[in-house]
Chain A
Amino acid sequence: MFRRIILEDWQRTLSIVGWVIFAAVFITSTLRAVLLPKEQVRKLEGLPLEEESYE
């Protein structure tokens, strides 16, 4: 006979920890993104568009 694994309660809290960490990262990165100075945004978004040449 087999029994389905019964895990201790602490493993269930990993879901909560995972969510809390994600929420912290999400809030931090969102805040930083929103507060990013305009001139820095312009510089960053312009990087792919900088002129280059071909030989």
Chain B
Amino acid sequence: MKSPATYSEECQGKVRIPFNDGVVRQFCLASLLWGIVGMLVGVLIATQLAFWQANAATPWLTFGRLRPLHTNAVIFAFVGNMMFAGVYYSTQRLVKARLASDLLSTLHFWAWQLIIVAAAITLPMGFTRGKEYAELIWPINISVALVWVVFGVNFFWTLQRRRERTLYVAVWFYIATIITITVLYIVNHLQIPTSWTHAYPVFGGIQDALVQWWYGHNAVAFFLTTPMLGIMYYFVPKAAGRPVYSYRLSIVHFWSIVFLYIWAGPHHLLNTALPNWLQSLGMVFSLMLWAPSWGGMLNGLLTLRGVWNRVRTEPVLQFFAAAVTFYGMSTFEGPLLSIKSVNALSHYTDWTIGHVHSGALGWNGFLTAGMIYWLVPRLWKRPLHSTSAAQMHFWLGMVGILLYIAAMWVSGITQGLLLSATQESGSVLAYPNFLDAVTSTRWLMHLRAFGGLLYMGGFVLMAWNVLRTIRGAEKSDGYIDVVSSPHSDFQLGLRRGLFNPPVLYSLSLILGLIGWGALDGLPSGLCLCGAIATILAAFLHKDLTGTTWADWYDLLLANALPFSVLTTVAVLIGGVAQILPTILLSTEHLTQGGAQEPYSPLQLYGRDLYIKEGCYNCHSQMIRTLAGDVLRYGPYSRAGESAYDHPFQWGSKRTGPDLARVGGKYPNIWHLQHMRDPRQISPGSTMPTYPWLLSDKADWNVLPERIRVQKRLGVPYKDATDAELFAKVKAEADAIAADLKAAGAPVDADRDIVAMIAYLQRLGKPLAPTVVPVAQPSTPPPAGQPSSTVPAGQAAGVSPSGVSQPATPNVNP
């Protein structure tokens, strides 16, 4: 490999720096390819919600397994590859340096594509961690972390070699992305493997929920937003030929976004068992996000002032203008949905899906299209093959998005209103059958699939256009002539970068404030005094040395190191303050002194099957503190009830009903028939059939290791030999099989369906006997209808203040 230095050549007293645009070309094409794949899977699963037959009764084609493939493909393959292309292209030019290492760049590209292929194979096979956007199994997690390190090293090494003193705001956004994603990814992927393809996350229940949505929300913030904003701040001015509307506003935009986003995760868990102070915190910080988000959106749109006449004719500007507008729309909708009362209507419905897609399709997708249309003619030195086709792409995409999100809004609000509607002074559900929400919105599922198809069609057209453009074209790498050397005096080095007055004063002030809030009594007072003393010391220092605030500010931003340290601090403050108090709670505290028993080994096996099949994609296990939920599903869920759930399964969408208290609601035979053919019991259901659960033989040999890992995670399983464990599993399975046989459905005890039934019958019954009574001859209630009895173990509820109160009965009108 050539050293980057060998690429530089003296040119009339200047140094010529040729950029590494080869890797940018590769990432652009990969983004296009994986984008179409991700959208194709999206259209397929959207079709499955309209036609259950599209699941094809094939394990690897079911909605539960393909939905994670769709989300991962779109986020990490489509947007990820586009992000790497945009970051590498713009960074080289903004800092006037070639990417530090060609080897690392190449390694980065190919290793990322291998990870995508590995994900595309393992997810349909059912190898999953059961956490949204974090489904990939642990060997792939390690690979992702390593590739991210390669990206980070390559990026920061390039900054170290830069010839430009000042870091443009786009580079700030890239730094925040790299640092934050590192922290988020590592924390949310802490796990203990039980085999090469399976692991249990170290956090469980409410702790896992909090960590997951801290990650999930900020994956959107720092993978789908901050790098895109950096790309916007570079490419929009470039395409418009005008500087950004207000550079000053971009500074405020950056710091506000970084400090606010990291606190907003709990808005995904409103009205759940999450402590109320955390819900309020997430809601307030989400609302505060309105201001910087719209500041950034207006900054982007106003950059186009004076060139709106070109927006009519130039596809690149069309895509950018629409993308920035969708950024504004989706960041208006996000805080709106974070208001607790609005969230009570929108959560678990299609409204959230519509919100996500207005961001993904409108903001990310259109920004990608604009960037690629701008880059391709330059990187291949040939005009775009067809401007008309690009414009056709724009309108196909625009109509597709509007159809999609309009369908999701109508569907989501219908579902929310219908499922929460009550009558008789709020004591009775107006629509007790959950399937009413499914059947009444089915036509909107058709519309959604059609909208997605149009949008994908636009990208197929783009792929054709790009391929026609680059076919036979000469690849072209950019270069720039500069006068300065790479190691100028503005590089601070490690010691000066970390230990300088503004960094130390900032850290001292922040730690003092945290100590003031987190400690009690004298230590708290001392911390407050320390924070005040820090401010006074900073003023004194400034006056004595004759420094100005601007000097210190510039010192922070002149070098990537102190800037990165401060960004890390910003990210950690929000994360630690939110997560640590809940993590520190003991399991005993959560379970009220051990009132929750662990799953039996067979139930645990069934739970792992539930996760493998991706049931959490359609079924929640969290009854919110809302009348509609309590009337429909039973007493609201307590934090302790999922204390031993590694991972938690609270879910984020109810295409089917909540299952938190489904245990004991129906006889075993009902579950068998329902898994074999959902429509036999629930006419109108969109649930796939699961015939393989009745034929596939369970592999109980995995259980000893899984139980051992669960014990390491703090789940109080009693010591038992493997033989004792297998005997217990067999006894439990035999009882369920005997019950099924008595009900007229003989099935071998070692089939997967038996374990799945064992798990489902346990849900909501913390102390219930393992084996449910033999099926009664009476007809079971139809699916989706509330049962008339309160589940065992839930005869009485406890108010949030801890005062016992009568349980809220399920109502069967």
**Chain A interface (Cβ < 8 Å from any Cβ of B):** 1-7, 10-22, 24-26, 28-36, 40-55
List 4 A-B pairs, minimum CB-CB distance, nearest first: A2-B638, A17-B517, A45-B243, A33-B248
Cβ contacts B256-277/A at 8 Å (1 or 0 each) = 1001100100000000010101
Chain A residues whose CB sits within 8 angstroms of the CB of B169 once the complex forms: 44
Q: Is the CB of A4 within 8 A of B577?
A: no
Residue of A nearest to B17 (CB): A52
Q: Which of B166, B581, B585 touches A14 (beta carbons < 8 Å)?
A: B581
**Residue B478 interfacial (CB < 8 Å):** yes
Residue of B nearest to A7 (CB): B275
Cβ contacts B763-774/A at 8 Å (1 or 0 each) = 000100000000
Q: Is the CB of B476 within 8 A of A14?
A: no
**Residue B592 interfacial (CB < 8 Å):** yes
B129 CB to closest chain A CB (Å) equals 25
Interface residue tally on B, bucketed by range: 35 or more
Residue of A nearest to B292 (CB): A26
Q: Is the CB of B518 within 8 A of A33?
A: no
Chain A residues whose CB sits within 8 angstroms of the CB of B544 once the complex forms: none
Q: Is the CB of B90 within 8 A of A48?
A: yes
Q: Is the CB of B260 within 8 A of A2?
A: no
Chain A residues whose CB sits within 8 angstroms of the CB of B249 once the complex forms: 33
Chain B residues whose CB sits within 8 angstroms of the CB of A2 once the complex forms: 591-592, 595-596, 638-641, 766, 798
Q: Is the CB of B589 within 8 A of A26?
A: no
Q: A22-B260, A53-B478 are in contact. Are A7 and B166 (CB under 8 A)?
A: no
11 sampled A-B residue pairs with Cβ under 8 A = A5-B585, A5-B590, A7-B581, A15-B284, A16-B517, A25-B570, A33-B251, A48-B90, A48-B233, A48-B237, A48-B244
Q: Is the CB of A55 within 8 A of B477?
A: yes
Q: Which of B55-63, B66-74, B392-400, B799-807 contacts A (4 or more CB under 8 A)?
A: B799-807
Chain B residues whose CB sits within 8 angstroms of the CB of A32 once the complex forms: 251, 549-550, 553
**Residue B719 interfacial (CB < 8 Å):** no
Chain B residues whose CB sits within 8 angstroms of the CB of A20 once the complex forms: 513
Q: Is the CB of B277 within 8 A of A12?
A: yes
Chain B residues whose CB sits within 8 angstroms of the CB of A7 once the complex forms: 275, 277, 581
CA distance A13 to B277 in the complex (A): 9
Cβ contacts B160-171/A at 8 Å (1 or 0 each) = 000010101110
Q: Is the CB of B577 within 8 A of A17?
A: yes
Q: Is the CB of B277 within 8 A of A34?
A: no
**Chain B interface (Cβ < 8 Å from any Cβ of A):** 18, 90, 93-94, 164, 166, 168-170, 206, 233-235, 237-238, 241-244, 247-249, 251-252, 254-256, 259-260, 263, 273, 275, 277, 280-281, 284-285, 288, 378, 381, 476-480, 509-510, 513-514, 516-520, 549-550, 553, 570, 573-574, 577-578, 581-582, 585, 589-592, 595-596, 638-641, 766, 796, 798-802, 804
Q: A47-B168, A52-B480 are in contact. Are A26 and B252 (CB under 8 A)?
A: yes
CA distance A8 to B314 in the complex (A): 58
Chain A residues whose CB sits within 8 angstroms of the CB of B381 once the complex forms: 54
Residue of A nearest to B262 (CB): A18
CA distance A5 to B639 in the complex (A): 7
Q: Is the CB of B595 within 8 A of A1?
A: yes
CA distance A35 to B766 in the complex (A): 61
> From DSSP, what is the main secondary structure of chain B's interface residues?
helix
B270 CB to closest chain A CB (Å) equals 15
Q: Which of A10, A41, A43, A54 touches B477 (beta carbons < 8 Å)?
A: A54
Residue of B nearest to A1 (CB): B798
Chain A residues whose CB sits within 8 angstroms of the CB of B275 once the complex forms: 4-5, 7, 11
CA distance A30 to B94 in the complex (A): 24
Chain A residues whose CB sits within 8 angstroms of the CB of B570 once the complex forms: 25
Q: Is the CB of B513 within 8 A of A17?
A: yes
CA distance A43 to B206 in the complex (A): 49
Q: A3-B638, A17-B514, A53-B478 are in contact. Are A48 and B94 (CB under 8 A)?
A: yes
Chain B residues whose CB sits within 8 angstroms of the CB of A55 once the complex forms: 18, 476-479
Residue of B nearest to A42 (CB): B243
CA distance A15 to B577 in the complex (A): 8
CA distance A43 to B94 in the complex (A): 12
Chain A residues whose CB sits within 8 angstroms of the CB of B801 once the complex forms: 4, 6
- Most central of A2, A14, A40 by chain B CB within 10 Å: A2
Chain B residues whose CB sits within 8 angstroms of the CB of A35 once the complex forms: 550
CA distance A13 to B517 in the complex (A): 5
- Most central of A5, A20, A21, A32 by chain B CB within 10 Å: A5
B317 CB to closest chain A CB (Å) equals 15
Q: Is the CB of B477 within 8 A of A25?
A: no
Q: Which of A3, A26, A54 touches B255 (beta carbons < 8 Å)?
A: A26
Chain B residues whose CB sits within 8 angstroms of the CB of A22 once the complex forms: 256, 259-260, 288
Chain B residues whose CB sits within 8 angstroms of the CB of A21 once the complex forms: 259, 510, 513, 573
Q: Is the CB of B251 within 8 A of A49?
A: no
A45 CB to closest chain B CB (Å) equals 4
Chain B residues whose CB sits within 8 angstroms of the CB of A17 once the complex forms: 513-514, 516-518, 577
CA distance A38 to B532 in the complex (A): 33
CA distance A53 to B21 in the complex (A): 12
Q: A5-B275, A48-B168, A49-B238 are in contact. Are A25 and B798 (CB under 8 A)?
A: no
CA distance A25 to B193 in the complex (A): 41
Chain A residues whose CB sits within 8 angstroms of the CB of B802 once the complex forms: 3-4, 6
Q: Is the CB of A44 within 8 A of B247?
A: yes
Residue of A nearest to B510 (CB): A21
Q: Which of B517, B578, B591, B799 touches A10 (beta carbons < 8 Å)?
A: B517
Q: Is the CB of B241 within 8 A of A52?
A: no
Q: Is the CB of A25 within 8 A of B238?
A: no
CA distance A20 to B516 in the complex (A): 12
Q: A32-B549, A47-B168 are in contact. Are A26 and B259 (CB under 8 A)?
A: yes
CA distance A46 to B94 in the complex (A): 10
Q: Which of A13, A30, A47 touches B518 (beta carbons < 8 Å)?
A: A13
Chain A residues whose CB sits within 8 angstroms of the CB of B590 once the complex forms: 5
Chain A residues whose CB sits within 8 angstroms of the CB of B248 once the complex forms: 33-34, 36, 41
B258 CB to closest chain A CB (Å) equals 9
CA distance A46 to B169 in the complex (A): 12
* 11 extra interface residue pairs, beta carbon distance < 8 Å, beyond A4-B801, A31-B549: A2-B595, A5-B206, A21-B573, A22-B260, A25-B255, A26-B259, A34-B248, A35-B550, A40-B166, A48-B234, A52-B480
A14 CB to closest chain B CB (Å) equals 4
Residue of B nearest to A6 (CB): B802
Chain B residues whose CB sits within 8 angstroms of the CB of A18 once the complex forms: 263, 281, 285, 573-574, 577
Q: Is the CB of A3 within 8 A of B577?
A: no
Residue of A nearest to B247 (CB): A45
A1 CB to closest chain B CB (Å) equals 6
CA distance A25 to B234 in the complex (A): 24
Chain A residues whose CB sits within 8 angstroms of the CB of B578 once the complex forms: 14
Chain B residues whose CB sits within 8 angstroms of the CB of A54 once the complex forms: 378, 381, 476-479
B444 CB to closest chain A CB (Å) equals 36
CA distance A16 to B577 in the complex (A): 11
Q: Is the CB of B255 within 8 A of A29?
A: yes
Residue of A nearest to B636 (CB): A4
Q: Is the CB of A47 within 8 A of B517?
A: no
CA distance A17 to B574 in the complex (A): 10
Q: Is the CB of B517 within 8 A of A24?
A: no
A47 CB to closest chain B CB (Å) equals 5
Q: Is the CB of A46 within 8 A of B243?
A: yes
Chain B residues whose CB sits within 8 angstroms of the CB of A49 once the complex forms: 237-238, 241-243
Residue of B nearest to A11 (CB): B581
CA distance A5 to B256 in the complex (A): 32
B633 CB to closest chain A CB (Å) equals 16
A9 CB to closest chain B CB (Å) equals 9
